[in-house]
A = this chain, B = another copy of it.
Amino acid sequence: MSSDAARKRKRRESGVETATGPVQDNSFARTPLYLALAHDLEGRIRDGRLPLGSLLPPEPDLAAEFGVSRHTLRQAIQRLRRLGLVSAKKGVGTTICEADASSARRFVSASRADLSEQAEGTDFTIFESASVRARGSLASELACRPGREWFTLKGTRSEIGADRPMALDEVYVDPRLAETLKAMNPIRQAIFRLVEEVTGERIAEIRQTIRPVILDRPTAEVLNAQAGEPALKITRAYFSPSGRLLELSYQTLPADRFAYTTVLRDVTA
């Protein structure tokens, strides 16, 4: 209809500016409107015009400002959400929670191996468990207040038919899980699933750090490996939506039995 011409005009007029300076000219490829919007917003966030920690203007306002429909604006915001720049909450608004969508964020991993800990087909065999209170270095590494009580497990993880364990696991969980966990040995489920079941809280985020270490004698013995060999040490912290730490685990994986593989896919396409 005639609204089409009006639309086109509006698009030219809409306040979408490319983020920084001259910029590559993608006009030949006709960037979709919502991507241009996302790019614009990203720029505003990066340079602080939309300050970190603050709320985005309401969607209807932003849509009006850009001269686009709310639907299109929401597509742009959804993209920023996927990139981890903002997080929206019903009834509240959209918070800016990251300032840099550095090129590193362009890729998103979605790999089966991402959480090897919960790989199906492995048995977790507990050989030690106890109740502990977080003190000193543990408390600080857990980023929790000292004195909080945890239930800790130590055990080996092995693939079903394997003769040697694949990893040594050390796990800290809510004390409420003690009974459940002691009752099942070996454990075939991902432990964080059990945490969700027992505590009723959903795990929304996992922070994972990978470091190289050299196997010390006691660890090597448990793993039936040679002391002095290289290994990966993976630390995982499991958080509830509100940011509360629900589980912490350390995993030691000898080099000859495990490599950590991820596939990163481009999400800009």
Of the candidates B103, B203, B212, which one forms a contact with A212 in the assembled complex, judged by CB atoms under 8 Å apart? B212
Q: Which of A105-140 contact B (CB under 8 A)?
A: 105, 107-116, 118-120
- Residue of B at shortest CB range from A120? B102
A112 — which chain B residues lie within 8 A by C-beta?
100, 102, 104-105
Contact code string A228-260 (vs B, CB < 8 Å = 1, else 0): 001110000000010000000000000100011
**With A206-B263, A263-B205, A263-B207 given, is the CB distance from A118 to B105 under 8 Å?**
no
- Residue of B at shortest CB range from A255? B212
Q: Is the CB of B118 within 8 A of A207?
A: no
Assembled-state Cα–Cα distance A170/B113 (Å):
25
Assembled-state Cα–Cα distance A110/B155 (Å):
30
Q: Is the CB of A213 within 8 A of B190?
A: no
**With A205-B266, A269-B204 given, is the CB distance from A105 to B100 under 8 Å?**
no
Closest chain-B Cβ to A218's Cβ sits at a distance in Å of 17
User: Number of A residues contacting the other chain (C-beta, 8 Å)?
Assistant: 50
A186 — which chain B residues lie within 8 A by C-beta?
none
Q: Which of A201-223 contact B (CB under 8 A)?
A: 202-214
- Residue of B at shortest CB range from A261? B209
Closest chain-B Cβ to A49's Cβ sits at a distance in Å of 20
Query: Is A51 close to B, CB under 8 A?
Result: no
The 26 listed contacts between A and B (C-beta, < 8 Å) are: A84-B265, A100-B112, A102-B112, A102-B119, A104-B113, A104-B115, A104-B116, A104-B118, A104-B119, A105-B111, A108-B108, A108-B109, A114-B264, A115-B264, A202-B266, A204-B265, A207-B264, A208-B261, A208-B263, A209-B260, A210-B232, A210-B260, A212-B230, A213-B255, A214-B214, A230-B230
Query: 4 other contacts beyond A204-B265, A207-B263, with CB at 8 A cut-off?
Result: A202-B266, A208-B262, A211-B255, A212-B213
State the 10 A-B residue pairs at the shortest beta-carbon distance, nearest first.
A212-B212, A212-B230, A109-B109, A210-B260, A206-B264, A84-B110, A209-B261, A104-B115, A204-B266, A211-B259
